[in-house]
Amino acid sequence: MEEDSVQDVDPDFEPRSRPRSCTWPNVSTVKPEGEDVGETAPGIVLAPGQGKDADSRGGATSGVGVVTPRKGGSRRNAWGNQSYAELITQAIESSPEKRLTLSQIYDWMVNTVPYFKDKGDSNSSVGWKNSIRHNLSLHSKFLRVQNEASGKSSWWTLNPEAGRSAKESRQRHSMDNCSKLLKSRAHARQAKAARAAALRQREAAPEGAPPDPPSQSHPGRSPSPHGYLDNTDVWTSFRSRTGSNASSLSGRRSPVATALEDEEAPMEEPLVAGALAESSVAELDLSARLTLIAGQQGGTSPQGSSTAPPTCLHSMPTLVPSESSFLSLCSTQPSAPPAQAAPLPSPRWVGPPCCFGPGSQDVTYGAHLPSGMGALFPGGHVSGIQGASHLPNLPMAQLDSSLGTQGFSLKQLQALAGHSRGRPPQAGAGSCFPMPETAGGHIPFLGNQDQLPTDLDADMFTENLDCDIDYIINSDLLDGEAVDFNFDMIPPVKQGCHGNLQDSFHNWVPS
C-alpha cells in the first residue's frame, strides 16, 4: 500500500523552500531561494518534464528574476508539482484503510515529502497545515467521516465519486449565484458520497474490530528507514484529541456571514442530499428543511439542546432564515444524548452495535441494521463535507431504504410547507436504533418531548421558512427530478430538535 504511494509522490519532492511566511505566489520567493534544500535532492529523480528549474509557480512576475518558469517542467510548488490535494490523496490512499485522520495526514507529509520534513514543528507547520485542512474541507473529494473513537478527530477518506474533475472536487465559494448553485450541488453529491463511504467502510471493517486501525502504537514514531515507505507508522499514530467536529455541528457561520448565505443551506442531510442527490434540488434550502424534519426524529435531546450553540440563532440572516442555522441546530441535536436513555453521555458506548458517538453530530450511520449489516461502521457518522456536516440523524438503514422505496411526495412536502412549519414529523425509528448505552446515541423517541424551547425568534423563523419552502418547492421540486424523500416513518410526534428550534416549530402541530 503505501509504498507505492510514496513513490508516487513526485520526484520533485525535494524540498524547495519557500518562506512559509510568504504567501504570495512564489515567484520571487520561491525561486530565488528555492533551493535550499537541495535542489536536487539526492536521490530524487526529476521527472522528465520537470527540472528543477523553476519552482515557481509564478511566473508572472518574474520580475525578480528568477527563475523562469519553464513550462512544462517547473515545479509548481516548493515541494514539487503536486498540489496539496494530490498529496493528501496519496496520503490517504497509502493508508491501509484508505482513511486517515488529520494528524496522520500531517505525519505523512512530514515523513514522506522531503519539503515538509523539516517543517513539522509548530512554527513552521502552521501554514502548510492550514493548507491541508483547507484542502480537505474545500475539496469534495475528501470526505470526512466521523471517527468512532471518542477523542479522535475525523477520518478523512476519498470520495470516489468526486473528484475527477477538479471542478467538481473543488468547491468554490465565490458566492456568486452560479457558484452557489454549483456548490450546493456539489454538497449534495458529497453528502451522498459520504454516506457511501461510510457504508463502505462499515462493511469493510469487521465489526468487532476496533474501529480504528491500529493502534496507537507508535511511540516515537519512527520514520521509517527511509522515511518514506513506512508510513504505516504514520497511520497508527494518533493524536488524541477530543472529538472535534466542531465545525460540523454547529451552525457556525462563516466569518463573514452575510445574508447571502442563507441560501446555502448546508447540505448535509444525506438524506436529502442523498435522496435528491443529483437532482438539482438537493441543493437548496429544501435540504435544510428536510433536515429539519429528519433531525427531529432523532431524537432530540434534551439537554443537548439546551446546550446547543446559540450561534445559529443569532446569525440568522435576513433573507431566509439561515437555514444553516436551522440545520445546525437540528443536526446538532441528534447528537445530544438521548434524553432518557442515557442520562449522561459517557464516551463510550457499549453494547449495541451502534455507532453513535457521544458527540456525533454527523450522520449516524450505524443504526443497526437488521440483518445484513450488523456491524456498524467503525466510524459511525459520516458527514458530508463542508457544510454538510450536519446531518440529520436518520438512521442509515432507514435512509437507505427509504430512499429506495418510500418516497416523500411532493405533496407531502407541500403540505408541510403549507401547514406547518413547524416541526417535522418525527421519525419513528425507534426500533431501528439500538441505543448506545452511554453515549449519545440518538434515540428516536425517547427524547424528551417535554423539552421546551427556550427562546427563539420563532416567528422569524417561521416566516422565513415559509418563503423558502415555497420557493423551493416551486423552483426545485417542481422541476422534478427525483423527488422522493420519504419520511413516512415519521410519526408525528413532537420533539424538537432543539429547544430552540422547537419554538420555532411550535406552531406546527401536526394536526
Partner DNA sequence: GGGCCTAAACACT
Partner DNA sequence: AGTGTTTAGGCCC
What is the footprint of Mg ion within residues 367-406 (CB under 5 A)?
Answer: 385
Pick out residues in 142-161 that bind Mg ion (CB under 5 A): 142
Residue selected from 119, 170, 381, 423 as contacting DNA according to rule CB under 7 A = 170
For the CB of residue 185, give the shortest distance to Mg ion in the complex, in Å.
14
What CA–CA distance (Å, rounded) separates 152 from 500? 29
- Give the one entry of DNA, Mg ion, none that residue 223 binds, where binding means its C-beta sits below a cut-off of 5 to 8 angstroms depending on kind: none
Pick out residues in 464-483 that bind DNA (CB under 7 A): none
Do residues 392 and 294 touch, judged by C-beta distance below 8 A?
A: yes
Pick out residues in 260-289 that bind DNA (CB under 7 A): 261, 266
Which one of the spans 66-74, 199-207, 223-231, 450-458 is the region binding DNA (CB under 7 A)? Answer: 66-74
What CA–CA distance (Å, rounded) separates 43 from 20? 25
Please count the other Cβ atoms lying within 10 Å of the Cβ belonging to residue 33: 18
For the CB of residue 257, give the shortest distance to DNA in the complex, in Å.
7
Instruction: For residue 271, give the 3-state DSSP assignment.
Output: helix
Give whichever of 363 and 385 is closer to Mg ion, judged by the CB atom.
Answer: 385
Q: Is 211 in the site for DNA (CB under 7 A)?
A: no
Which one of the spans 1-9, 59-67, 209-217, 284-292 is the region binding DNA (CB under 7 A)? Answer: 59-67
Q: Is 248 left (phi over 0), alpha (psi -120 to 50) or beta?
A: alpha
Q: Is the dihedral of CA 427, 433, 437, 440 positive or negative?
A: negative
Torsions phi, psi for 250 (to 5 deg): -75, 170
- Give the one entry of DNA, Mg ion, none that residue 106 binds, where binding means its C-beta sits below a cut-off of 5 to 8 angstroms depending on kind: DNA
Count Cα atoms within 13 angstroms, Cβ side, for 379: 34
The alpha carbon of residue 82 and the mean position of all alpha carbons in its chain are separated, in whole angstroms, by 23
Do residues 343 and 336 touch, judged by C-beta distance below 8 A?
A: no
Give whichever of 273 and 385 is closer to Mg ion, judged by the CB atom.
Answer: 385
Give whichever of 360 and 486 is closer to DNA, judged by the CB atom.
Answer: 360
Which one of the spans 1-9, 73-81, 225-233, 449-457 is the region binding DNA (CB under 7 A)? Answer: 73-81
Q: DSSP labels for 417-455? A: HHH--SPPPPP--GGGPPPPSSS----TTTS-S------
Q: Is 51 in the site for DNA (CB under 7 A)?
A: no
Binding mask 243-262 for DNA (x = CB under 7 A): xxxxxxxxxxxxxx----x-
Give whichever of 183 and 423 is closer to Mg ion, judged by the CB atom.
Answer: 183
For the CB of residue 325, give the shortest distance to DNA in the complex, in Å.
9
Instruction: For residue 77, give the 3-state DSSP assignment.
Output: strand
For the CB of residue 239, give the shortest distance to Mg ion in the complex, in Å.
20
For the CB of residue 451, give the shortest distance to DNA in the complex, in Å.
18
The alpha carbon of residue 449 and the mean position of all alpha carbons in its chain are separated, in whole angstroms, by 29
Binding mask 365-404 for DNA (x = CB under 7 A): ------------------x-xxx-x---------------
The alpha carbon of residue 491 and the mean position of all alpha carbons in its chain are separated, in whole angstroms, by 29
- Measured CA angle at 65 (ends 62, 70), to 5 deg: 65
Do residues 16 and 39 touch, judged by C-beta distance below 8 A?
A: yes
Which one of the spans 100-108, 207-215, 391-399, 422-430 is the region binding DNA (CB under 7 A)? Answer: 100-108
Q: Is 154 in the site for DNA (CB under 7 A)?
A: yes
Residue selected from 156, 349, 461, 505 as contacting DNA according to rule CB under 7 A = 156
At position 94, the amino acid (one-letter code) is S
Pick out residues in 130-149 that bind DNA (CB under 7 A): 130-131, 133-138, 144, 147
- Give the one entry of DNA, Mg ion, none that residue 131 binds, where binding means its C-beta sits below a cut-off of 5 to 8 angstroms depending on kind: DNA
Which one of the spans 286-294, 305-313, 417-425, 496-504 is the region binding DNA (CB under 7 A)? Answer: 305-313
Contacts of residue 121, Cβ cutoff 8 Å, sequence gap at least 6: none
Give whichever of 13 and 408 is closer to DNA, judged by the CB atom.
Answer: 13
Give whichever of 250 and 333 is closer to Mg ion, judged by the CB atom.
Answer: 250
Q: What share of the chain is helix, strand, coil (3-state, %, to 5)?
A: 40, 5, 55
Number of residues interacting with DNA: please give it, by CB under 7 A.
87
Please count the other Cβ atoms lying within 10 Å of the Cβ belonging to residue 479: 12
- Give the one entry of Mg ion, DNA, none that residue 57 binds, where binding means its C-beta sits below a cut-off of 5 to 8 angstroms depending on kind: DNA
Give whichever of 156 and 485 is closer to DNA, judged by the CB atom.
Answer: 156
Pick out residues in 310-349 that bind DNA (CB under 7 A): 311-312, 328, 332
Contacts of residue 153, Cβ cutoff 8 Å, sequence gap at least 6: 101, 102, 103, 147, 239, 241, 243, 244, 245
User: Burial code of 172-207, b = ≥16 C-beta within 10 A, e = fewer?
Assistant: eeebeeeebebbbbbbbbbbbbbbbbbbbbbeebee
- Give the one entry of Mg ion, DNA, none that residue 83 binds, where binding means its C-beta sits below a cut-off of 5 to 8 angstroms depending on kind: DNA
What CA–CA distance (Å, rounded) separates 215 from 458? 47
Residue selected from 3, 4, 21, 217 as contacting DNA according to rule CB under 7 A = 21
Which one of the spans 242-250, 394-402, 415-423, 447-455 is the region binding DNA (CB under 7 A)? Answer: 242-250
Which positions lie near Mg ion, rule CB under 5 A?
142, 385
